[in-house]
């Protein structure tokens, strides 16, 4: 038996760790800090940094991942490991299963094991979804295109980037929620999705959405935006009722936003339209918008971002004193 998981451990994971270590080092992190974030020894980090990155890029290329994509994913994973080990594992797993489902790993796998020349297990297991998922994938794709076509939306994007999540059917886990792998990022000042949407692509946003659905089950979609004083004013002007968490005094294991939301919902008895996470302890403040479908969530996100962008315009100066 020669499962593709061997390639994950022996080729994909070491190559991605190499690139992520380099990205974190370029941000000024020490080797000890990098080793802690990646879960490897300091000696391993030293070897990563001393090695030629072209070897890692070549290994990833053999798995159908271009150098450009590998660099983007390394930057994304570097941000994820600083935020949450769970987020990093989720993103890494999504990238790997995406390669499996697309057939990108097959040529390398077959070159090592010629007996698998007719194997299509991964494509069948990870590359196809039922009708409900197909419809959800199409719905999120169209919603994302609308964001990408609105340059001003970038002003409301947080540093951790944006995602659009849509729960499918009676969703119970993040695997039942369609989102964008790698999120929607700024590219030359415009919003741009890293990859087409997939089930299970955002552990964090999916868990937020699933928790909100325990109180408001008709809400199936979620979009996150930045949150600051100006955005607080937008929320008030639009009459959106917030449920607020955050102000974390220190870092702790797990997803602080999800943990705080779960605790808050146990005692919260009022209605709410949006979730405000005030951030803290290395967590960037975020605003979470909800709707019954992806189109509605994006409608609201565009409405909020338009109001937010309008707030950047300089206020009129004071009126001149009356003349005598």
Gap between the Cα atoms of 193 and 211, Å rounded:
25
107 with 242, same domain: the answer is no
Range of the domain at 168: 131-310
- Give the chain's mean pLDDT: 89
Count of the separate structural domains present in the chain: 2
73 vs 230 pLDDT, higher one: 230
pLDDT reported for residue 102: 80
How far is residue 10 from each of residues 43, 55, 136, measured CA to CA in Å? 18, 13, 34
- Predicted TM-score (pTM) above 0.75: no
The DSSP annotation for 264-288 comes to HHHH--S--SEEEE--BTTBPPEEE
Q: How would residue 128 be classed by pLDDT, with cut points 50, 70 and 90? A: low
CATH of the domain at 264: 3.40.225.10
The reported pLDDT for the residue numbered 88 is 85
What is the per-residue pLDDT across 146-205, written as a single tens digit (0 to 9) for each?
Answer: 999 998 999 999 998 999 999 998 898 888 899 998 899 998 899 999 888 888 888 899
3-state class (DSSP) for residue 323: coil
Is 317 a residue whose pLDDT tops 60? no
* End residue of a domain, out of 126, 154, 188: 126
């Amino acid at each position: 038996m020669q499962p593709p998981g061997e390639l994950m451990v022996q080729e994909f994971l070491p190559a991605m760790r190499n690139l992520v270590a380099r990205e974190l080092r370029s941000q000024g992190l020490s080797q000890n800090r990098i080793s802690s974030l990646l879960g490897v020894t300091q000696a391993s980090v030293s070897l990563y940094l001393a090695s030629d990155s072209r070897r890692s890029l070549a290994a990833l290329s053999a798995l159908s991942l271009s150098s450009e994509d590998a660099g983007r994913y390394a930057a994304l994973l570097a941000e994820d490991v600083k935020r949450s080990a769970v987020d990093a594992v989720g993103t890494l797993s999504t990238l790997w299963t995406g390669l499996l489902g697309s057939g990108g790993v097959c040529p390398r796998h077959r070159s090592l094991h010629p007996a698998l020349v007719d194997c299509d297990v991964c494509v069948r297991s990870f590359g196809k979804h039922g009708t409900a998922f197909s419809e959800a994938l199409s719905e999120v794709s169209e919603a994302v295109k609308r964001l990408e076509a609105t340059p001003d939306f970038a002003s409301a994007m947080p540093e951790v980037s944006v995602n659009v999540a849509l729960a499918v059917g009676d969703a119970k886990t993040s695997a039942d929620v369609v989102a964008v792998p790698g999120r929607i990022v700024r590219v030359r000042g415009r919003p741009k999705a890293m990859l087409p949407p997939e089930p299970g692509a955002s552990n964090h946003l999916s868990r937020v959405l699933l928790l909100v659905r325990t109180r408001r089950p008709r809400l199936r979609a979620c979009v996150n935006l930045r949150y600051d004083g100006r955005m607080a004013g937008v929320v008030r002007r639009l009459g959106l009722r917030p449920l607020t968490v955050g102000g974390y005094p220190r870092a702790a294991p797990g997803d602080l936003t999800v943990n705080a939301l779960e605790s808050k919902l146990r005692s919260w008895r009022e209605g709410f339209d949006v979730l405000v996470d005030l951030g803290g302890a290395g967590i960037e403040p975020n605003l979470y918008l909800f709707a019954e479908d992806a189109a509605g969530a994006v409608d609201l996100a565009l409405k909020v971002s338009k109001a937010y962008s309008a707030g950047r315009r300089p206020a009129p100066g004071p009126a001149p004193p009356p003349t005598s």
